[in-house]
Structure formats: structure tokens, C-alpha cells
Homo-oligomer: A and B are copies of this chain.
Amino acid sequence: MPRWTMIEAIRDALNVMMARDDRVVVFGQDVGRFGGVFRCTDGLQGKYGASRCFDTPISESGIVGVAVGMGAYGLRPVAEIQFADYMYPAYDQIVSEAARLRFRSAGDFSAPLVVRMPCGGGIFGAQTHSQSPEALFTHVAGLKTVIPSNPHDAKGLLIAAIEDDDPVIFLEPKRIYNGPFDGHHDRPVVPWSTHELSETPEGYYMVPLGEAVVRREGADVTILAYGTMVHVAEAACQSVGIDAEIIDLRTLVPLDLETVVRSVGKTGRCVIVHEATRTSGFGAELAAQVQEHCFYHLETAIVRVTGWDTPYPHAQEWDYYPGPDRVGRALTRVMET
């Protein structure tokens, strides 16, 4: 099996689906001729032609707006928002239109589209190239929200997202595009080729939406994480030597509650990690559901380790980032109570 970076895996998912289904079209800012600022669409225009993969004007609302129209026509648009931080102009088309079209028309029309967007910090991108807006999507009925943590899942989940008949928000943690970054920003960069989850089957396969996976089995505490934070959680477990069970949620909505409840039922402790600001982040929803379903199993309060409730700063990036130290401290604290 080839070993791929996340960028290569994403590109291959698009390639596989464009070859299988001529209704799949790919577009966004700089994605056509140039192949995307992160190179995720490199070569697709050359291979499938400019009306299957093309550059768009700098208008996120336009990008998603035309995608809704194309979806209603019967195509399978895969739109790229250059950075998740720039999705706000498209938020109305996502929330008021894509998410509700099937419901409001009682199934007459639907918008089977995928909106891909790089998210998260760790690249000195400051407030406008670092955000993790997943909670702004999970609150919206009608959307599915997906966030992979490795090349294998990225390809399989993206294929599943494109095949899905509902609008899917596909968040790509840009800090792990090129390697399984675990938050130790002061250590040498590790490439994906060294990680087993860069092994990516050729051709078509799916990682179904709505299924979490246990990345590390453990008995003491459950860590709920997704995206880059899965690797940070692994690094934290290693350094504090606590036998944590790490769940990679992969899909936030619909949530794989069974896997979560089973694990917390076993460990009795729960730490939630995400990079987004804390207040009303997706960690709040996880905490609410875990306490609801595991109340009598919990030994101690659920703890959230998150980005602070501030914009993402530039020079203080690593002070903002919920890295392995902070996660480790939380684990220790949770084990002490």
C-alpha cells in the first residue's frame, strides 16, 4: 500500500471520485490552474478538464451558492474554502440553504455538496489562518461535520462525504497535512511516511461517516479528540504515562455516541480536547452528552482542554495551542480526583 501525506490522500480521494462519477466537480479559489494553495487539487484540472475542476472568483458565498444550485441540478460539487477562517461569508448559504433545502422542500430538492476547508493552527497563521469553527456547523441541523486525523481516514472519509446525499463540512487540520504533528513544535518534523496511518489503499474505499474509532485502548480515562488533537493526546499520554483510551471521533455530527459511552462507562473519567475556543465549542456538547449518558459512571468532572477564549494570536501561537503539556496536566489532574 502506498504511504501518503494527507494532501496526497485528499487529492487521491478527489481523483478517484472524479474518475468514478462524472457528476463530481471540484472548484474554489486557486484550485484549478494552480492546484490549490495547499496543492490538494494539483493535476485535477489537467486530467479532467477545466469544467470539472476550476478556479473561482474570491467569493465564498458565491462558491457555496453555486454549489447549492449545482447540487440541486444533480451534480456532486466539492467546493474548497481556502481557509476555514474565510468561510463566514458563505455561512448563510451553508446554514440557511444547503442545510435546509431538503427539509424545506420535503425532499423535492437537495444539496449533496462537500465543503472542504483547512482548519486549525500551528503554522503561524494568526487569527485569520488558524481557526477551528466546527461548533458553528455542529449546531446546524441538516449538516454533517467531518474531521480526519490521518491520510487513511482523510481519503476514506472524503469519499464517503462525496457519496453522501447530504451537505458535508469537511475540515482538514492543516498542521497535519504533511505529518502527524503531535504538538511538540520544538522537536524535528516527523513525516507521514513514518506513521502507519499513512498507508492508504489504492482506488475506492470508504470510511463511513458517523463512526468513531478507538486509537489507543486504555483503562484510566477516556480522551475525546479529533483532527490534530488525536496526535497531541497520544503524545500527552506517552509523556505522563497514564493509561488513557483515546477516541478519534472523526465525524462530529452524526456523533458515534455508542463508542464514547462505552469507553467512559469503562474508564469513569473523561477529558475532551479541541483547538477551538472553549465557550460553546464542540467540547461543550460532548461534555453535556457524556454527563447525560454516563452520569453514574463518572468518578470526576469532565475536563475540557481547549484553545483559549481569545482570537488565535501570532507570536504566542504555542501559548494558545492546547499542546501535550496542557493535555498531560489535565490527565494528571483528572486522575488525582
A: which residues have CB within 8 A of B? 61, 85, 88-89, 91-92, 95-96, 100, 103-104, 127-128, 135-136, 138-142, 253, 276-277, 279-285, 287-288, 291-293, 295, 298, 300-304, 308-311
Contacts and interface: CB of A to CB of B under 8 A. Distances in A.
A63 to B, nearest CB: 14
Nearest to A308: B141
24 contacts: A61-B89, A88-B91, A91-B91, A103-B127, A103-B310, A104-B127, A104-B311, A135-B135, A135-B280, A138-B279, A139-B280, A141-B308, A141-B309, A279-B285, A280-B285, A283-B288, A284-B287, A284-B288, A287-B287, A287-B292, A292-B302, A295-B298, A295-B300, A295-B301
Q: How many copies does the complex hold?
A: 2
A100 B128 CA distance: 11
A92 B88 contact: yes
A279 B127 contact: no
Most chain B beta carbons < 10 A, residue from A85, A288, A304: A288
A217 B277 CA distance: 34
B279 A280 contact: no
Contact of A287 (B128, B281, B291): B291
Contacts of A277: 139-141
A103 B88 CA distance: 19
A309 B141 CA distance: 5
Residue of A61, A100, A135, A284 with most chain B CB atoms under a 10 A cut-off: A284
6 nearest CB pairs, A to B: A88-B92, A287-B288, A139-B280, A295-B301, A284-B284, A284-B288
Contacts of A89: 61, 92
